[in-house]
Structure 1
Amino acid sequence: MYTNRLLTFSDQFVISCGTISIDVCRQKVLLIYYRDQNVLILPKGRKNRGENLESTAIRETTEETGYSCHLMSHSAPVKAPVPENNAPEHDAGRLHTEPIAVQQWVYSDGVRKFIFWYLGAADSTESPSTLAEDGEKFDAQWYSFEEAVQRASFEEDRKLIEKAIHIVSS
């Protein structure tokens, strides 16, 4: 039984997607320094009309960092069911690319922002492209696992990084 229900119409919410992008081999996390606000954050951004969530996460990460990434398969538990025709007797350890978290912000005008967070894979030795979207005010920076947790500006980002590290280290 549901204890709370919430209805929000399309003119009162925004959907965003981002990644916690990790270079597993080098144990590094990709963060962006947002110059206008002097904060170190995870890359994310708004979904375009008709775009799926996964594509948004990849596009926004690439636009804000200049690094290409892809969604990393993982076995973190999720509530999303396995399609019936693919459901094994026991689903433990089955790999997928479902989001590892969803975050909700509520702006002062009541508009809600839902952010779907994906586990991303990227190569810290790659040279970032110069194709970053015009007007982006970010500097991409790689940090060791421990340093990324310590240096991220917001507690929610630190928790996301910790969760991602836990998933790739398990």
Structure 2
Amino acid sequence: MAAPKFPTLQLFSPEFLICAGAILFQPPRDRPDSPLQVCILFHPQKDEYLLPKGRKDISENPYHTALRETYEETGYPCDFLPVRMHTRAPQAGEDIKDTANGRELFPLTEPFAMTFRNVGGGTDKNYKMIWWFIAKVTGEKQEGTMTASEGFQSCWFSETEVVEKLTFESDRDVVRKALELVRATYVTDST
């Protein structure tokens, strides 16, 4: 028996949970000096600021999960915001070799990050995989979109405030990268 060529962690269905979420932006403005606005969640009972995300339903793909969970938890209808970013994924039908840094393409609505969290602690195999997307608001806030077990308040913050508001450093890292991608795609220097 040969060992895998690369270090490998293999999980079976009881050992992992697929989740998805989105960094929700107000649509970028035409003016470069207009700060970006990001919607995050406040959980009053835990006194935590979080990103909208949740579990993938059976037979649902992570793209739909990200939009559904973001809508349910924030109340804002949304869609993906295409950005310019590096990806290792080929275009449909394309035959290219995988490279470590991929290549930069636009427009992309692929996941821009993935958080791999061991929620079992220690050596327990209990992992949560969170796919992160970038989204934009497409309509007015709707009330009553959360499930009964959720008690979030959606809050808008400017790009200069949002990172400091988030409770967890991993969420801050995800937002920093999303801001970098949206700025690089939509915000130009007017000088």
TM-score (norm 1): 0.89
> How far off is 1:117 after superposition?
0.3
Q: Match for residue 156 of structure 1?
A: 170
Deviates more, 1:111-120 or 1:126-135: 126-135
Which 4+ runs in 1 deviate beyond 2 A?
84-87, 91-94, 125-135
> How far off is 1:135 after superposition?
2.6
> How far off is 1:2 after superposition?
4.5
> Which of the numbers 9, 15, 20 marks the counterpart of 1:6?
9
Relative to structure 1, is the Cα distance of residues 37 and 100 closer, same or farther in structure 2, using a 3 angstrom cutoff?
same
2:83 maps to 1:74: yes
Q: Match for residue 126 of structure 2?
A: 111
2:50 maps to 1:41: yes
Where in structure 1 are there 5+ consecutive unaligned residues? none
Check conservation: 2:15, 2:126, Cα contact below 8 A. Answer: yes
The aligned amino acid for 1:138 is F
User: Deviation digits for residues 62-98 of structure 1, max 9, x if unmatched?
Assistant: 11111111111112111111123599xxx74431210
SS at match of 1:99: coil
* Equivalence map 1:72-111=2 (5 Å): 72-84=81-93, 92-108=104-120, 109-111=124-126
Q: Match for residue 65 of structure 1?
A: 74
Separation of aligned partners in 2, 1:77 and 1:126: 32
User: Identity percentage over the alignment?
Assistant: 31
2:129 maps to 1:120: no
Separation of aligned partners in 2, 1:2 and 1:30: 42
Relative to structure 1, is the Cα distance of residues 164 and 5 closer, same or farther in structure 2, using a 3 angstrom cutoff?
same
> Which of the numbers 49, 63, 78 marks the counterpart of 1:54?
63
TM-score (norm 2): 0.80
Q: Larger Cα Rg: Structure 1 or Structure 2? A: 2
Q: Match for residue 132 of structure 1?
A: 146
Provide the alpha-carbon RMSD of the alignment.
Answer: 2.1
The aligned amino acid for 2:168 is F
Q: How many residues align?
A: 166
Where in structure 2 are there 5+ consecutive unaligned residues? 30-34, 97-102, 185-191
2:35 maps to 1:29: no
Deviates more, 1:130-139 or 1:140-149: 130-139
Check conservation: 2:119, 2:127, Cα contact below 8 A. Answer: yes
SS at match of 1:63: helix
Deviates more, 1:152-161 or 1:104-113: 104-113
Separation of aligned partners in 2, 1:4 and 1:147: 39
> How far off is 1:129 after superposition?
3.0
Q: Match for residue 21 of structure 2?
A: 18
Separation of aligned partners in 1, 2:168 and 2:148: 26
Separation of aligned partners in 2, 1:104 and 1:130: 30
